[in-house]
């Protein structure tokens, strides 16, 4: 959005506008500057979906806002509850598109797994979302709305607010860099949810130049790298992004990120049967992981119907972890949640191959 709004153009998405441009607009329309703080609070702390809900602004300002802006609010259209109490949600974004988010409760915490894009362009072989076309980036407001809606579900079902947020849903967060960073700022702000950035993790498939940019911006949230293989040949097989962002480049960017932020990096490693589960694979991972202070999450594979990759044997997973631990690395073995409703890692959109299909199903329900 430009600093000066051209009133002849279509309405502007107010939650994607800069604070400077909104402040300029307020003054140009003859309203007092303190109105910005009120509008900001309604948008982000109270998460309203219409200007009419902003009860303390006065009719003139509400009408002016409605003439110039719109609020890109998303809605919860469908939810499924797993046997382990994981909840997968289908969120309607715009008129024809859908993204999914997941609430993952445990005894001590409630984690929201949220999406950053409609679809994905990376086509990783182990991920159902990668089979969808990349349609568009989500706006900051659409990302934040997922957090608000999942927080409401956590309060309803778990009697507590969210404790953690992970950008591990649909899409590659670092290919929607500006909007993702703005969304984290809002989530952490006292005018938003007030969640500590140390309780937020942004996961990337590995865009080296954007990891470097995270370092330049000295972000406060946690960074996770979806690694899944610690040699270029194997990683190329399952993650095409590695061909333009190889391990050498990633290593350099991670070291820079740590130097600038002081943050420990998490390496995510989905372990596949007879592909990346050997002792040699573990030694390669240990060698690569030594490049920065880190922890390693070994994640069991969740099948996505094609049978190309399979879940590794439990004994091999345990031996793999033991080798890493013998190298003095911090290792966690992550068991999947929500597998029965296709809400586990890599399964989002597994049962609906396109967002359009899901939208059409919801339209049919509304007609009934």
Q: Is residue 4 part of a domain?
A: no
**pLDDT in the model for residue 294:** 98
Q: What is the CATH number of the domain that holds 116?
A: 3.20.20.70
What is the structure's pLDDT at 306? 60
Task: Report the Cα 245 to chain-centroid distance in Å.
Answer: 21
Q: Is residue 253 part of a domain?
A: yes
CB atoms within 10 A of CB 81: 16
pLDDT-derived band at 353 (thresholds 50, 70, 90) equals very low
Q: 118 and 166: one domain? A: yes
What pLDDT is attached to residue 296? Answer: 98
Instruction: Tell whether 5 is covered by a domain.
Output: no
Does the pLDDT at position 347 exceed 60? no
The answer to the question of residue 202 being in a domain is yes
- pLDDT score at 346: 44
Same domain, 279 and 224: yes
Residue 170 lies in a domain: yes
pLDDT for 337: 59
pLDDT at 262 exceeding the cut of 70: yes
Check which CATH number belongs to the domain holding 53 and give it.
1.10.150.530
Domain end call among 54, 70, 86: 70
Which of 24, 43, 70 terminates a domain? The answer is 70
Mean pLDDT, the chain, whole residue set: 89
165 confidence band (pLDDT: 50, 70, 90)? very high
**Could you give the C-alpha distances from 285 to 227, 262, 327, in angstroms and in order?**
9, 22, 10
Do 95 and 157 fall into the same domain? yes
- Look at residue 32 and tell me if it is in a domain: yes
Distance CA 307, CA 90 (A): 26
Decide if 365 is inside a domain. no
Q: Is residue 106 left, alpha or beta, with left meaning phi > 0 and alpha meaning psi from -120 to 50?
A: beta
Instruction: Give Dmax over CA atoms of the chain in angstroms.
Output: 70
In sequence order, what are the residues at sequence separation of 6 or more whose Cβ sits closer than 8 angstroms to the Cβ of residue 185? Answer: none
pLDDT category of residue 339 using cuts at 50, 70 and 90: low
pLDDT at 304: 66
Residue of 52, 100, 111 whose CA lies nearest to 74: 100
221 in the same domain as 118:
yes
Pairing label, strands 75-81, 97-105: unpaired
Report pLDDT for 128: 77
In a domain, 318, yes or no: yes
DSSP E strands, 272-362: 294-300, 330-334
Percent of the chain with pLDDT over 70: 88
pLDDT at 257 over 90: yes
Residues annotated catalytic, as ranges: 100, 345
CA distance 368 to 360: 13
How do strand 136-137 and strand 222-226 relate by DSSP bridges?
Answer: unpaired
Mark which of 51, 70, 89 sits at the end of a domain. Answer: 70
CB atoms within 10 A of CB 83: 10
pLDDT band at 343 (very low <50, low <70, confident <90, very high): very low
Measure CA of the first residue to CA of the last residue in the chain; give whole Å.
Answer: 40
Q: In whole angstroms, how far apart are CA 196 and each of 29, 102, 193?
A: 36, 20, 9
Looking at the structure, tell me whether residues 335 and 200 fall in a common domain.
yes
- The structural domain count of the chain equals 2
| pLDDT tens digits for range 271-298 | 999 999 999 999 999 999 999 999 999 9
pLDDT at 363: 45
Q: Let me know whether 49 and 133 are in one domain.
A: no
Domain residues for the domain of 49 are 12-70
Helices then strands, counting H and E runs in the chain, come out as: 11, 14
Lowest mean pLDDT among 45-59, 300-314, 342-356: 342-356
Cα gap 72→51, rounded to integer Å = 12
pLDDT of residue 289: 98
Least confident among 186-200, 323-337, 349-363: 349-363
Same-domain pairing of 55 and 151: no
More confident residue, 160 or 131: 160
Tell me how far apart the alpha carbons of residues 42 and 276 are, in angstroms, rounded to a whole number: 49
Answer yes or no: do 81 and 66 share one domain.
no
CA 332 – CA 193 distance, rounded (Å): 29
Is a pLDDT exceeding 60 seen at residue 1?
Answer: no
**Whether residue 175 is found in the same domain as residue 320:** yes
**Residue of 184, 66, 70, 174 lying closest to 122 (CA atoms):** 174
Pick 78 or 27 by higher pLDDT: 27
H-helix or E-strand spanning residue 321? helix 314-326
* Residue-level length of the chain: 368
Specify whether 233 is located in the same domain as 249: yes
If asked whether residues 160 and 66 sit together in one domain, one would say no
In this structure, are 94 and 208 located in the same domain? yes
């Amino acid at each position: 959005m430009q600093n000066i709004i051209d009133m002849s153009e279509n309405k502007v998405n107010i939650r994607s506008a800069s604070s400077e441009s909104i402040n300029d607009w307020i003054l140009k329309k003859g309203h007092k500057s303190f109105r910005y703080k009120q509008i900001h609070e309604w948008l982000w702390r109270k998460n309203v979906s219409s200007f009419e809900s902003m009860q303390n602004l006065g009719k003139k300002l509400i009408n002016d806002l409605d003439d110039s802006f719109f609020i890109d609010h998303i809605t919860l259209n469908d939810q499924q509850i797993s046997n382990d109490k994981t909840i997968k949600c289908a969120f309607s974004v715009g008129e024809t598109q859908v993204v999914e988010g997941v609430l993952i409760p445990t005894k001590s915490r409630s984690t929201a797994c949220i999406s950053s894009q409609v679809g994905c362009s990376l086509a990783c072989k182990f991920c159902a979302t990668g089979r969808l076309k990349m349609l568009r980036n989500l706006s900051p407001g659409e990302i934040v709305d997922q957090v608000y809606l999942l927080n409401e579900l956590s309060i309803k079902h778990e009697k507590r607010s969210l404790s953690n947020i992970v950008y591990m849903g649909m899409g590659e967060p670092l290919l929607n860099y500006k909007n993702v960073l703005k969304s984290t700022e809002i989530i952490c702000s006292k005018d938003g949810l007030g969640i500590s950035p140390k309780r937020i993790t942004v996961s990337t498939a590995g865009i080296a130049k954007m990891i470097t940019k995270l370092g330049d911006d000295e972000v406060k949230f946690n960074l996770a790298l979806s690694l899944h293989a610690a040699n270029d040949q194997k990683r190329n097989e399952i993650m095409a992004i590695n061909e333009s962002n190889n391990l050498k480049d990633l290593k350099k960017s991670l070291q820079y990120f740590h130097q600038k932020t002081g943050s420990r990096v998490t390496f995510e490693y989905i372990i596949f049967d007879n592909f990346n589960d050997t002792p040699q694979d573990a030694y390669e991972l240990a060698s690569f992981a030594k490049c920065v202070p880190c922890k390693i999450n070994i994640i069991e594979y969740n099948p996505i119907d094609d049978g190309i990759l399979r879940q590794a044997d439990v004994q091999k997973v345990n031996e793999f972890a033991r080798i890493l631990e013998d190298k003095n690395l911090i290792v966690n073995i992550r068991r999947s949640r929500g597998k029965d409703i296709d809400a586990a890692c890599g399964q989002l959109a597994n049962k609906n191959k396109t967002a359009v299909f899901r939208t059409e199903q919801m339209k049919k329900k509304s007609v009934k």
